[in-house]
Amino acid sequence: MAAALLVFLALLFLYEQFRIALAIMVAPMLAVGGVFTGLWLAGQTLNITALMGMIMIVGIVTEVAVFYFSELMVLRNSTGAVPAPLSIPMLIDAGSNRIRPIAMTTLAAILALLPLGLGLGQGSAMQQPLAVAIISGLVIQMPLVLIVMPVVYRLLLGRKALASPM
């Protein structure tokens, strides 16, 4: 997917470290798998509107993962003069600090798209795959960012103190 490659390149230029960009891109790629599952469960076909929804999910989930990573770096850099390696309490604190904004924006978007995703209203059948793709990607986003991402960060970035990417 060209959109995912462009997002990865943007992250690579932003953080200047391959492991950080790779760690952040895990969530959007897994969320795309959630989109396929959601389309299948809803009985929707993979068409151009569903693909537009996938592109949107890559951007939305990447943004949320970047916000989580930024919070993690703030916590890591606040430990002292020398940045500390990522610890499990640090990962938990970053998640607990970000859970409310992530949950609020995710829930608001899901509730706003629900009538379209259910096919309610005139002309909604054409945009229904878009809504189903976005809703299913957003549903999978929260556990990905708050549960899977800390594990990925710990595995890819937690072995030693990284040079500050910000």
pLDDT 10s digits, 57-109: 999 999 999 999 999 888 888 876 566 677 888 888 988 998 999 999 999 99
Residue 12 has pLDDT above 70, yes or no: yes
Give the residue numbers spanning the domain of 97: 2-12+25-78+85-157
Residue 133 covered by a domain: yes
Which single residue is written with the structure tokens 């940045």? 83
Q: Count other C-beta atoms under 10 Å from residue 34's C-beta.
A: 21
| Rounded Cα–Cα distance for residues 95 and 89 (Å) | 10
Residue 166 covered by a domain: no
Residue 58 covered by a domain: yes
Residue 17 covered by a domain: no
Residue 18 covered by a domain: no
Residue 142 covered by a domain: yes
Mean pLDDT across 1-6: 83
pLDDT 10s digits, 130-156: 999 999 999 999 899 889 988 988 888
| Helix H or strand E encompassing 103 | helix 88-117
Q: The domain that contains 122 carries what CATH number?
A: 1.20.1640.10
Total domains in the fold of the chain? 1
3-state SS, 5-47, equals HHHHHHHHHHHCCHHHHHHHHHHHHHHHHHHHHHHHHHCCCCC
Instruction: Report the pLDDT value the prediction gives residue 106, as an integer from 0 to 100.
Output: 93
